[in-house]
A and B are shown apart, each in its own frame.
Chain A
Amino acid sequence: MAHAHHLTDSRLHELWEMHAPDPHLASCAACQARLAEIDGVTSAVQTAADVAFSEAFPDRRVEASRHRILQAVERLNRPGQIVTFPGTPFVAARQRTRPRWMVAAAAGLILGLGLGRLTHPGSLAPALQPAAALSPVAPASYSVVADDDLLFALETASTGPVPVLRSIHELTPLSDQPDPLW
């Protein structure tokens, strides 16, 4: 029979899975051989997999694994509680922070405009007044100071051990130095 008329891989596989009869298959030795190939290899792999699995996981090991899972669940100690794990704290924090800044900036602007109106009732352009008059609009400067503090703290921490730790370090004998007690 011409190759073009052979069953496709997908069709052949489907027939094999369903144990379904097929007129072409009944008369084509090549397709029957392909079907037998599926059967033989699959059975061999399944048998080998059974052997390998039972070697690797005897009953006591399966039981130990099951026990560890249940213990781990017990440690979580929050059955039924929904937690976004593994969470994305940075994204979440940013999403929360950004609107807060916007609200603070808007509040500062409104307050500044109000103060401008009070201190200069005739003026229509409080924004042109000296910056000191609009000081409530400056929450960003707090952030800058806080960031600077944080960066300073990080820099200090990264430049080396702080004096208190250094003294401990100096008291600790290094492994390559001879111990004076010996």
Chain B
Amino acid sequence: MASGDRDNARERFTALVDLQHRRALRIAYHYLRDADDAAEAVQDAFLRVFVHIATYSESRPFEVWFTRILVNACLDRRKARGRRLKWTIPMADASPNRPLDPASTAPTPEQRMMTRARAGEISAALAKLPARQRDVFVLRYLSDQTPGDVSAMLGLSEATVRVHLFRAIRRLRTLLER
């Protein structure tokens, strides 16, 4: 490939990363609940996109194709983490209410701590949802995909997506009231 083409491809890919990166981190973070794992899953997804870009069909939005790759990367990482955890001694404080990130344990003003605590509770509730409900909810409300896009990403009908969304919301409410 000529160096001009290569530079051009690199520039276009950089623009793509700039456009999708933050949203991708957000999705991955809510899937994995760990910042390092999320960053790695996002990197995996972008590399897969880079390598397979020629297989992308313009018949559906790029975002849908990319998000599907990202979700798969998150699922792969979750499986890998599951395998890793199988061989490690469980931490004493590995409760679902633990902070999302070690950095969040630093002392902060009271208001900020309460907000964090509430955010932790809600994230823990989100993690307790059945996998399909959580996937649908995260994609729809935390990454602003339309129900139509979510149905394309997960291979579900739009009506099924809506039912999962509603059930997820109802379950979240029950969990947060406890």
Q: Give the B-binding residues of A (Cβ under 8 A).
A: 9-10, 12-14, 17, 37-38, 40-42, 44-49, 51-53, 55-57, 61-62, 65-66, 68-70, 72-74, 76, 78-83, 85
Contacts and interface: CB of A to CB of B under 8 A. Distances in A.
Q: Interface SS of chain B: helix, strand, loop or mixed? A: helix
Contacts, number: 138
Contacts of A53: 25-26, 29-30
Contacts of A68: 39, 43
A81 B1 contact: yes
Contact of B35 (A17, A61, A69, A82): A61
28 contacts: A9-B162, A9-B167, A10-B163, A12-B166, A13-B166, A40-B173, A45-B137, A49-B30, A49-B119, A49-B126, A49-B141, A49-B142, A52-B100, A55-B101, A56-B104, A57-B25, A61-B35, A66-B18, A68-B43, A73-B50, A78-B1, A79-B50, A80-B5, A80-B9, A80-B53, A80-B54, A82-B54, A83-B51
Contacts of A65: 21, 25, 39, 42-43
Contacts of A12: 166
B115 interface: yes
B147 A17 contact: yes
Interface size class of B (residues with CB under 8 A): 35 or more
Given A10-B163, A37-B170, A48-B121, 18 more contacts: A14-B162, A41-B172, A45-B141, A48-B118, A51-B116, A52-B122, A53-B29, A56-B29, A57-B35, A62-B22, A65-B25, A72-B43, A73-B46, A73-B47, A76-B47, A79-B10, A83-B51, A85-B48
Given A49-B142, A73-B50, A55 B116 contact: yes
B25 A46 contact: no
A76 B13 CA distance: 13
